[in-house]
Structure 1
Amino acid sequence: MTTPLATASGIASSPAAAAASGPAAATAAALPVLPRPSADEFDAVLQHGAYMPLTQFGVIDATGDDAASFLHSQLTNDTQHLDAANARLAGYCSAKGRLLASFLTWRSGDTIRLLVSKDVQAAVQKRLSMFILRAKARLVDASDELAVVGLAGDVRRPLSAVFDALPDGVHVQVDGAAGTLIHVPDALERLRYLWIGPKAQVEALLPSLDAKLKRVSPAVWDWLDIRAGEPRITQPVVEQFVPQMVNFDVLGAVNFRKGCYPGQEVVARSQYRGTIKRRTSLANVAGELQTVRPGMELFHSDDPGQPCGMIVNAASAPHGGVDLLVELKLAALEGGSVHLGAADGPTLQFLALPYGLPTEG
């Protein structure tokens, strides 16, 4: 679980490594540490409704006659049959089956859009572009042209003033004059939506929401993603996890019936031979984001000499400390305690995921 200084993919696996791992990685800045949201911001989501511009994401547009088939050959999920009504999670793996990035994918007209963590976008886009070869496909950074907004809580009525129809099922999408609206997994039984549209148009419409919804920090969305149990691959954890280790098989981000993609043999072998001995769990730990960061190792009280896991994602929690998605050995959950950074570090308190995990053989 030791984080390498630089990976063979050219994507830095830690912020400190970005400058040392080549031009592809150096173009991506580490995500800023977002200040802890106020109690009012958390309450707005939990008690009423809120929206938040999501600066932590970028968007890659894939265009051209072969865009769908090209992405189908590269990602863990089916993009060849991606229709205009549904979005899908997907991963992008190295040849060793380790995740380089995670995406939410959907169609907007003839374009396939990939929502990705901004700190890995440049390197991932460059790497994908290397494999286009003779395919009629083009990848473009659309982040400057598009705004990404998260909405959570009691938001359907305000959204009805912007969109003629609202999506009901999870990962169902609708397109309208203001862009695309995608229903993403609920968190703490609160509805959540992503609104992606032309930046100028979205920013002109946002003030109309202010009378009904509170504008809050994008850090609240990071927390909601964690409480939804949906991991996101960011720079500090690049190439650390096979998709099943972050529950991507459970979340529908891996299609085991599709054709080959980088790392497919490793991912399939892990699934069918029952070799997944590590999974992602939800936890809380004392501290702040300045000292509790993705990529930090975890240690078990019964085996202090070697790490048992790693933080995947971290976000400030409303009642103190930091909520986490943590990847760790399943055996570490059977007894004893799990600690941050060292065997005598802060103790993790585990919480229930909002979905069940398969029993591993």
Structure 2
Amino acid sequence: MNTPLANAASGASGTTASGTTSAPAAAAPSAASAGLPTLPRPASDEFEAVVEHGAYMPLTQFGVIDATGDDAASFLHGQLTNDTQHLDAANARLAGYCSAKGRLLASFLTWRSGDTIRLLVSKDVQAAAQKRLSMFVLRAKAKLVDASGELTVIGLAGDVRRALSGVFDALPDGVHVKVDGAAGSLIRVPDALGRLRYLWVGPKAQVEAHLPSLDDKLKRVSPAVWDWLDIRAGEPRITQPVVEQFVPQMVNFDVLGAVNFRKGCYPGQEVVARSQYRGTIKRRTSLANVAGELETVQAGAELFHSDDPGQPCGMVVNAASAQDGGVDLLVEIKLAALASGSVHLGAAQGPALRFLALPYGFPTEV
């Protein structure tokens, strides 16, 4: 969908910026791609387990792309918004994958597993992103494969350190710090609601062998709880309904460390850099809650301001069932729309959003 939201964060227009890759232009991911299923609202005790104790959840909403070969790091370095050339074995990094217009096609968490670079991605955009990346490999010694069938992705949140100490010899001590063990990789990700969170990605057999011991210590909950925690952590995820809608700054990727402005060229880099340095960024992603359920409150829905009901002022980036009712949202929105009046879902007469504080601040704009 081509909407006003396709405009860049700070004056970058919808005109095509020069790409940085010499391969023939690849088609954008199709809007007909299958989206993620709507997950049922978790039971109240599933939310409570995370907030009051500890819980784990198999994360079926994610897929994993493995990049292998001598040139895997340098190839990805020239395609993604973050530095993969200097990605070491002890850290993970967020990254975006943009079109030539600087609009996000996918978002990844990237890390090394031996000689492989792994990309954790929303499953509904995985195939399109992997296909597009593969088109640009050309003469590089790099190969991209779908590793989702061989790996299990587990999210853990709350008081989970004792349970994890039975699996890993050491635990990551900082956000995006990674440790490896016989059962795979453990990555600490940003806290949500003041609760620790970890991603555990490893070979299916090894991970599943440890799940009975986790069941003795932690409650297993729905993957929908992880979606909610990601939203409360203020970390947007690109899914199929919002492909090509946002420049990275519009979803706070510059604040979250997902963009390296010194690393050199990648598709859309000129637009992303111009958005950063041209002046005040006028659109950002905020945290909100709205009445309703996921059947009617979904990513890609437009937002309207009470003072200007004729055109959208923003868009839902991610949505998840909230512990205290309704749906929690990450919404990309004009900052001016937050100054006064009210913001509504779907139409100026739709449900009003209640804005909440993000767990991080924005840099001072000059």
Match of 1:299, SS state, is strand
2:146 maps to what in 1?
141
Q: Is residue 2:356 matched to residue 1:354?
A: no
Q: Is residue 2:36 matched to residue 1:31?
A: yes
Displacement of 1:3: 5.7
2:189 maps to what in 1?
184
Give matches, 1:214-293, under 5 Å. Answer: 214-293=219-298
Tell me how many residue pairs correspond in the alignment: 346
Match of 2:217, SS state, is coil
Instruction: Kindly provide the CA deviation profile for residues 19-44 of structure 1, in whole angstroms up to 9, marking residues without a partner as x.
Output: xxxxxx4xxx2100000000000000
1:299 maps to what in 2?
304
1:103 maps to what in 2?
108
Match of 2:216, SS state, is coil
Distance in structure 1 (CA, Å) of the matches to 2:103 and 2:124: 17
Distance in structure 1 (CA, Å) of the matches to 2:240 and 2:119: 17
Q: Is residue 2:69 matched to residue 1:64?
A: yes
Match of 2:89, SS state, is coil
Distance in structure 1 (CA, Å) of the matches to 2:121 and 2:356: 26
Displacement of 1:276: 2.0
Match of 2:56, SS state, is strand
Displacement of 1:10: 3.1
Distance in structure 2 (CA, Å) of the matches to 1:281 and 1:106: 27
Match of 2:355, SS state, is strand
2:10 maps to what in 1?
none
Give matches, 1:301-340, under 5 Å. Answer: 301-340=306-345
- Pick from 28, 50, 54 the counterpart of residue 10 of structure 1: 28
Q: Which amino acid aligns with 1:291?
A: T
- Pick from 69, 82, 88 the counterpart of residue 83 of structure 1: 88
Instruction: Kindly provide the CA deviation profile for residues 182-222 of structure 1, in whole angstroms up to 9, marking residues without a partner as x.
Output: 00000000000000000111112111111110000000000
Instruction: Kindly provide the CA deviation profile for residues 250-279 of structure 1, in whole angstroms up to 9, marking residues without a partner as x.
Output: 000000000100000000001011252100
Instruction: Kindly provide the CA deviation profile for residues 134-154 of structure 1, in whole angstroms up to 9, marking residues without a partner as x.
Output: 000000000000000000000
Q: Which amino acid aligns with 2:111?
A: W
Distance in structure 2 (CA, Å) of the matches to 1:360 and 1:39: 40
Q: Which amino acid aligns with 1:340?
A: L
Instruction: Kindly provide the CA deviation profile for residues 84-106 of structure 1, in whole angstroms up to 9, marking residues without a partner as x.
Output: 00000000000000000000000
Instruction: Kindly provide the CA deviation profile for residues 213-241 of structure 1, in whole angstroms up to 9, marking residues without a partner as x.
Output: 00000000000000000000000000000
Q: Is residue 2:175 matched to residue 1:166?
A: no
- Pick from 136, 146, 152 the counterpart of residue 157 of structure 2: 152
Q: Which amino acid aligns with 2:83?
A: D
The alignment yields a C-alpha RMSD, in angstroms, of 1.3
Distance in structure 2 (CA, Å) of the matches to 1:164 and 1:262: 40
Distance in structure 1 (CA, Å) of the matches to 2:163 and 2:253: 32
Contact 1:3/1:295, CA 8 A, preserved across alignment: no
Q: Is residue 2:145 matched to residue 1:127?
A: no
Q: Which amino acid aligns with 2:29?
A: I
Match of 1:359, SS state, is coil
Match of 1:183, SS state, is strand
Identity of aligned residues (%): 87
Distance in structure 2 (CA, Å) of the matches to 1:215 and 1:112: 29
Distance in structure 2 (CA, Å) of the matches to 1:257 and 1:316: 38
Displacement of 1:354: 0.1
Q: TM-score, normalised by structure 2?
A: 0.93
1:22 maps to what in 2?
none
* 5+ residue gaps, structure 1: 19-24
- Pick from 159, 173, 180 the counterpart of residue 175 of structure 1: 180
2:48 maps to what in 1?
43
Moved over 2 A (4+): 1-4, 358-361
Instruction: Kindly provide the CA deviation profile for residues 67-87 of structure 1, in whole angstroms up to 9, marking residues without a partner as x.
Output: 000000000000000000000
Contact 1:277/1:360, CA 8 A, preserved across alignment: no
* 5+ residue gaps, structure 2: 5-25
Contact 1:285/1:323, CA 8 A, preserved across alignment: yes
Higher relative contact order (CA 8 A, sep 6+): 2
Instruction: Kindly provide the CA deviation profile for residues 281-330 of structure 1, in whole angstroms up to 9, marking residues without a partner as x.
Output: 00000000000000000000000000000000000001100000000001
Of stretches 108-117 and 197-206 in structure 1, the one that deviates more from structure 2 is 197-206
Distance in structure 2 (CA, Å) of the matches to 1:313 and 1:274: 27
Q: Which amino acid aligns with 2:39?
A: L
Displacement of 1:359: 3.4
Match of 2:180, SS state, is strand
Distance in structure 2 (CA, Å) of the matches to 1:98 and 1:194: 27
Distance in structure 2 (CA, Å) of the matches to 1:80 and 1:201: 29
Q: TM-score, normalised by structure 1?
A: 0.94
Match of 1:211, SS state, is helix
